[in-house]
Amino acid sequence: MEEKIVQPWMKGLIISLFTIVLGIGLYLADLWQDKMLSSISWVIVVGGIIWSCIHYAKQMQGDVTFGNVFAHGFKVTATLIVITVVYTLLSMKVLFPEMTDKIIENAATEMEKNKQMNDDQIKQALDMTRKFMLPFAIGGIILGYGFVGAIASAIGAGLAKKTPKQNPF
């Protein structure tokens, strides 16, 4: 019986669920702004995409090329991006609407430490931050995950065992 290939969207869904559960856990434990703990989600994303690429090549019994495996990894990345953007919209508008206020509070604290900014400049910067918080978050997700996903897909495609049965030329 032939092994069924796990679709990239399924792998992307699983990886994104891991990162979302981690993010919710960190937020509820009030550890969401700890840079070291937050970087765990990036490790999950990179490791998950690399694993996805290697797993895909194994499922195909090595009958793949670098491009096939890279494309599979980037499809996983695209799924991650879509799910994370939807989750971010939901979390900032429905699940945790106070998150924006907490981010603004922390930004204000950091800006007050900076003696080069006066109160008017701080207020203006915080107003802009509040106004563009969601577009910057979504843009950051798209660019950040896209860039990291492309690199992880390339690493995964490079590490995957490839023994194509046909000559691609």
Tens-place pLDDT, residues 33-76: 788 888 999 999 999 999 999 999 999 988 899 999 999 999 99
In which band, very low, low, confident or very high, does the pLDDT at 98 lie, cut at 50, 70 and 90?
confident
Helix, strand, coil fractions of the chain, as percent rounded to 5: 80, 0, 20
Residue 118 lies in a domain: no
Structural domains in the chain (count): 1
Residue 104 lies in a domain: no
Higher per-residue confidence, 32 vs 132: 132
Residue 90 lies in a domain: yes
Residue 108 lies in a domain: no
In which band, very low, low, confident or very high, does the pLDDT at 2 lie, cut at 50, 70 and 90?
low
Quote the DSSP letter at residue 150.
H
Q: Which domain holds residue 148?
A: 8-96+138-159
Residue 131 lies in a domain: no
Residue 114 lies in a domain: no
Average pLDDT of the residues of the chain:
88
Tens-place pLDDT, residues 17-39: 999 999 999 988 988 878 888 89
Are the CB atoms for 12 and 56 separated by under 8 Å?
Answer: no
